[in-house]
Amino acid sequence: MQDLTIIPASNAALPDAPMRLKHWIGGAWVDSADGATSVRFSPAHGVPVSVAAKGGQIEAEAGIAAARAAFDIGAWSRTSGKDRAILLLRVADLIDRDRAAIARQEVLESGKPITQAMAEIEGAADIWRYAAALARTLHGDSHNSLGPDMLGLVLKEPIGVVSLITPWNFPFLIISQKLPFALAAGCTAVVKPSELTPGTTVMLGKLLAEAGLPDGVVNIVLGYGEPVGAVLSSDPRVDMVSFTGSTAVGKRISAAASATLKKVSLELGGKNPQVIFPDADLDQAADAIAFGVYFNAGECCNAGSRIIVHESVAAALVEKITVLSRRVPFGDPLDPRTQVGAIISPEHLAKIDAYVRGAVAAGARLALGGAALDVGGLGAQFYQPTIVTDVRPEMEIAREEVFGPVLSVLTFRTADEAIQLANDAAYGLSAGVWSSDVSTCLDFMRRVRAGTVWTNTWMDGFAELPFGGFKQSGQGRELGRYGLEEFLEVKTVQMRIGQTRGAWVA
Ligand code: NAD
pLDDT under 70: residue ranges of the chain = 1
Range of the domain at 277: 273-455
Which atom of ligand 1 lies at the shortest distance from residue 167's CA? 26
Query: Does residue 6 belong to any structural domain of this protein?
Result: no
Question: Are 166 and 287 in the same domain?
Answer: no
Atom index in ligand 1 nearest the CA of residue 224 equals 11
Number of Cβ within 10 Å of residue 392's Cβ equals 13
CATH of the domain at 23: 3.40.605.10
Are residues 213 and 141 located together in one domain of the fold?
A: yes
Q: Is residue 5 part of a domain?
A: no
Whether the CB-CB separation of 388 and 400 falls below 8 Å is answered with no
Contact in structure between 410 and 306 (CB atoms under 8 Å): yes
In a domain, 7, yes or no: no
DSSP code, position 312: T
Q: List, by residue number, the catalytic residues.
A: 267, 301
- Compute the distance between CA of residue 2 and CA of residue 327 in angstroms, rounded to an integer: 11
For residues 211 and 320, membership in a common domain is answered with no
Q: Whose CA is nearest to atom 40 of ligand 1?
A: 267
Where does ligand 1 bind, in terms of residues with CB under 6 Å? Answer: 165-170, 174, 192, 194-195, 224-226, 229-230, 233, 244-246, 249, 252-253, 267-270, 301, 401, 403, 429, 469, 474
Assess contact for 238 and 270: CB atoms under 8 A: no
- 339 located within any domain: yes
pLDDT at 116: 98
In a domain, 433, yes or no: yes
| Radius of gyration of the chain from its Cα atoms, rounded to whole angstroms | 24
Q: What is the pLDDT of residue 501?
A: 76
Examine residue 122 and state whether it is found in any structural domain, yes or no. yes
| CA-to-CA separations, 391 to 290, 308, 317, 388, 403, in angstroms, rounded | 18, 10, 15, 7, 17
Across the chain, mean pLDDT equals 97
Do 220 and 127 share a structural domain? yes
Is the domain of 96 the same as that of 201? yes
The whole-angstrom separation of Cα 365 and Cα 272 is: 20
Closest-CA residue, ligand 1 atom 11, reads 225
pLDDT in the model for residue 251: 97
Q: What is the pLDDT of residue 498?
A: 80
- If asked whether residues 164 and 284 sit together in one domain, one would say no
β-bridge partners, 386: 406
pLDDT of 502 reads 80
Q: How far is the CA of 264 from the centre of ligand 1 (A)?
A: 14
| β-sheet bridge partners, residue 478 | 467
Do residues 409 and 284 share a domain? yes
- Residue to substitute in 172, 246, 430 for testing ligand 1 pocket (most ligand atoms within 8 angstroms of CB): 246
Asked if residue 227 belongs to a domain, the reply is: yes
Q: What pLDDT, on a 0 to 100 scale, did the predictor assign at position 500?
A: 72
Query: What distance in Å separates the CA atoms of residue 116 and residue 341, rounded to the nearest whole number?
Result: 10
* Nearest CA residue ID for atom 16, ligand 1: 225
Whether residue 444 sits in one domain with residue 299: yes
- From the CA of 497, how far away is ligand 1's center (Å)? 51
DSSP secondary structure code for residue 170 in this structure: S
Closest CA to ligand 1's atom 9: 194
pLDDT at 377: 94
**Are 21 and 201 in contact, with CB atoms under 8 Å apart?**
no
Residue type, 351: K
3-class secondary structure per residue, 203-239:
HHHHHHHHHCCCCCCEEECCCCHHHHHHHHHHCCCCC
8 Å CB contact between 136 and 85: yes
pLDDT at 11: 92
Give SS3 for 435.
Answer: coil
| Mutate which of 244, 349, 477 for ligand 1 pocket (most atoms within 8 A of beta carbon) | 244
Domain count, the chain: 2
Indicate whether 503 belongs to any domain: no
Give the Å distance between the CA of 238 and the centre of ligand 1: 19
Closest CA relative to residue 346, chosen from 375, 296, 382, 299: 382
Measured in angstroms, how far is the CA atom of residue 167 from the centroid of ligand 1?
Answer: 4
pTM over 0.85: yes
Query: What Cα–Cα distance (Å) separates residue 444 from each residue in 85, 94, 371, 435, 450?
Result: 39, 42, 35, 10, 11
114 and 72 belong to one structural domain: yes
Measured in Å, residue 190 CA sits from the centre of ligand 1 at: 16
Strand partners, 490: 156
Residue with CA nearest ligand 1 atom 22: 225
The order of strands in the sheet holding 141-143 is 141-143, 150-158, 488-496
